[in-house]
Structure 1
Amino acid sequence: MSLQSGHTMPQSSAMPPPSWHACVRSSDVDVHASAQPQWSLNYDQLSPGRFDGQIELVQLPGLRMIREGANCKVRQRGQIGRGHYGLAMVLEQDSEAIFNGQRLSTESIMIGRGEELDLLTPAHSELIGVVVEHELLAALWQSMYQKPLSAWIEEQIVVQASTASARHLDKMHRRILGLLSSSPELLNDPVTLIQLRDAILIEWIEAIPSQVDTSELRRVEARKKVVDRACECMLAHSDQPLSTLDVCSRIGTSPRKLDYCFNDVLGISPKRYLRLVRLNGVRRDLKSRAHEARVKVQDVAARWGFWHLSEFSRDYSAQFGELPSQTLRNAQG
């Protein structure tokens, strides 16, 4: 991981200074996830290859700007702040991105509460977004429209921006991030920071269409609930992976519906998804247990239901670009 910043980025356990700017490049999906302070995120790498990710963050009063990209397909889940709301766009995508079970185009805006992030981004994609405190968003919304925040803001929803709005948001993000990177002294100028913050938030709000349709949300949520229950069931038995029929009988659905829901919500079959999540689980365990005496790859693999070591090593190497023994040695070193 490399870090370049105008101000030192705060550690996740510490209170952040009022404003800061940071750039992080990492070759590990877990380092990538943890490089975003005060947020609790879990990333699973779903496409094969050695991970390469970049994040640029700017913390302004009441608002955080983010620009993020990675060469691998990733599912990210977790929290980006209670009492906060996120607005984001996936600008570049070779295949479909999915937010809370809803498909995204390059002009889609994701909007949702900070407590329930669930986003799948394709390989070689780039995302821009802001995370804003409720009080700030509500006050600016009231000032702009002379009415309280719309009720749909409490949902996890996708809306369509215009092509011009999407391009303008991209240019504004690039301009502000470039300005604060080249002139870090501006981070100590309260007046400039408030002006920048309000300008970027106003552009995001104005990019939202005047009419927001929530009629499909209940159907999307029902499919996602099936996926979430199946994932919980499968991961509760990660050392002895359940068959599709076992999962279906435990959560009360049919194999056809389970497969449909997974492909619709995650773009992948349940069997394939479980195997990838288990491989990610082995990788995390190898790194977290590297300090233990006599830890062995085969023991960690067995905890995640991989009993054939040669087959497991082949799949692990294809997924992460290194052997599991290399992961363990790197963590120990």
Structure 2
Amino acid sequence: MSMYDTFASSTTPRLISTSPFSRHVSSQDIDEHAEQVSDWQLTYDQMSAGRFHGELTEFSLDWMQVIRDRTNQSLIKRGSAKPGTINFSIPLSFSGDLYCDGNLVSGGKALVAHADDLPQLRTPDEMDLLVVAVDMEILERELTLQGIAFESRHLPKTYLVKDLDLPRNLRTILENLEYGCASSTADLNDERLRHQFRDAIMLQLFELLPSSQPVEITPSNRKRTVDRACEYALAHLDEPLTILDLCRTLGASRRKLQYCFQETLGTNPVAYLRTLRLNAARRELRQGADLVSVQEVASRWGFWHLSRFSSEYRTMFGERPSQTLHR
């Protein structure tokens, strides 16, 4: 049984536990899930079809924020992290391909990025991700003391974790935190305990940074082509846009456009652009209440056949557009 099978059927975020230094919530809405991360500004688009389930566990350890983010659908993630932090994203487990700013990232790699320069991610299904956000000044001071060379201005980068015990050790620390908070055996109100957990996690990060030559992440030319195609398509929703229209606008062949989308996102341009529009329509329906109708929203995002829109929407999100509107 998947961990998501135990979720309640309600789409309202469910606060499972909370304290001044820890919180655990579950959600069946991607926007609500994104909003749960304290001090982060995130936007999610759902890319795979099916009902979304997510669990978020967050620990506030003073100058360190520890987040466990578990999701069951492929997502496009954009945004910024807690200001003034360096962020370590370490997959604990995932199934499928992970794309970072248009680069396919193989298993056994961790991503390190500035708070205000997070690369766009396309996550795989059933991802269990640990994120550690550390105050940048404190991190650099700690690394200097340990004699570890680290050029934060060159981020984002990926670091190898394949031959390290890092994921297993961090999972153990995280599970001790989760168990302790759930059973009330770990009182994070005690600064001494927060200090112990911070140092345990920092020791693991020390193992990561000098482990190998990191790979700098930069948007590829093909990623820039994809971005231009998306901008053009979303700016011309009132037109019956075709792939040939995109080819003419971008000065690219159909084959090149296909390669650009496939290599940077693992999908084709028609499917991706339709999914972006479905997500935008869902976001508007979610906020619309009595101010809009399903047909108005569908038309605004380039869906002129209402029944086809409703069918595609239900397949993608696991509910009818009217259910989202009146939730």
Pair in the same fold by TM > 0.5:
yes
CA distance in 2 between partners of 1:146 and 1:25 (Å): 38
CA distance in 2 between partners of 1:290 and 1:275 (Å): 24
| CA drift at 1:131 | 1.3
Post-superposition CA distance 1:122-181 (Å, at most 9, x none) = 11121112112211211111111165x325x63222221125222222222222332233
Structure 2 CA distance for partners of 1:324 and 1:217, relative to 1, 3 Å:
closer
Give the match's secondary structure for 2:129. Answer: strand
Give the match's secondary structure for 1:299. Answer: helix
Structure 2 CA distance for partners of 1:146 and 1:269, relative to 1, 3 Å:
closer
CA RMSD across the alignment: 2.1
Q: 1:305 aligns to what?
A: 302
The farther-off stretch of 283-292 and 184-193 is: 184-193
Post-superposition CA distance 1:222-279 (Å, at most 9, x none) = 3322222222222222343532232233334333222222211111112111101111
Alignment of 1:82-121 (within 5 A): 82-117=83-118, 118-121=120-123
CA distance in 1 between partners of 2:67 and 2:204 (Å): 15
Structure 2 CA distance for partners of 1:4 and 1:86, relative to 1, 3 Å:
same
| CA drift at 1:217 | 4.4
Post-superposition CA distance 1:295-321 (Å, at most 9, x none) = 211011000000001111111111111
CA contact 2:180–2:186 (8 Å) conserved in 1: no
| CA drift at 1:280 | 0.8
TM-score computed with the length of structure 1 as normaliser: 0.87
| CA drift at 1:289 | 1.3
Q: 1:166 aligns to what?
A: 167
Structure 2 CA distance for partners of 1:164 and 1:141, relative to 1, 3 Å:
same
2:124 aligned partner, one-letter code: P
Q: 2:82 aligns to what?
A: 81
Alignment of 1:117-128 (within 5 A): 117=118, 118-128=120-130
CA contact 1:73–1:120 (8 Å) conserved in 2: yes
CA contact 1:107–1:163 (8 Å) conserved in 2: no
Q: 2:321 aligns to what?
A: 324
Give the match's secondary structure for 1:301. Answer: helix
CA distance in 1 between partners of 2:105 and 2:169 (Å): 18
The farther-off stretch of 160-169 and 315-324 is: 160-169
Q: 1:11 aligns to what?
A: none
TM-score computed with the length of structure 2 as normaliser: 0.88
Give the match's secondary structure for 1:5. Answer: strand
Count of aligned positions: 313
Q: Does 1:132 align with 2:134?
A: yes
Mark the runs of 5 or more structure 1 residues left unpaired by the alignment: 8-18
CA contact 1:6–1:184 (8 Å) conserved in 2: no
Structure 2 CA distance for partners of 1:325 and 1:163, relative to 1, 3 Å:
same
Q: Does 1:69 align with 2:70?
A: yes
Structure 2 CA distance for partners of 1:36 and 1:217, relative to 1, 3 Å:
closer
The farther-off stretch of 21-30 and 195-204 is: 195-204
Report % sequence identity.
37
| CA drift at 1:107 | 1.9
Q: 1:255 aligns to what?
A: 254
CA contact 1:229–1:251 (8 Å) conserved in 2: yes
Q: 1:16 aligns to what?
A: none
CA distance in 2 between partners of 1:23 and 1:137 (Å): 26
Q: 2:10 aligns to what?
A: none
Alignment of 1:133-212 (within 5 A): 133-145=135-147, 149-151=150-152, 154-161=154-161, 162-183=163-184, 186-212=187-213
Q: Does 1:315 align with 2:312?
A: yes
Q: 1:227 aligns to what?
A: 226
Q: 2:60 aligns to what?
A: 59
Structure 2 CA distance for partners of 1:26 and 1:213, relative to 1, 3 Å:
closer
Structure 2 CA distance for partners of 1:39 and 1:213, relative to 1, 3 Å:
closer
CA distance in 2 between partners of 1:310 and 1:236 (Å): 24
Q: 1:3 aligns with which of 7, 11, 15?
A: 15
Structure 2 CA distance for partners of 1:242 and 1:198, relative to 1, 3 Å:
farther
Alignment of 1:12-51 (within 5 A): 20-51=21-52
The farther-off stretch of 196-205 and 275-284 is: 196-205
CA contact 1:53–1:71 (8 Å) conserved in 2: yes
**Moved runs in structure 1, 4+ residues, more than 6 A?**
none
CA contact 1:169–1:204 (8 Å) conserved in 2: no
Structure 2 CA distance for partners of 1:146 and 1:275, relative to 1, 3 Å:
closer
Give the match's secondary structure for 2:125. Answer: coil
| CA drift at 1:282 | 0.8
Mark the runs of 5 or more structure 2 residues left unpaired by the alignment: 1-12
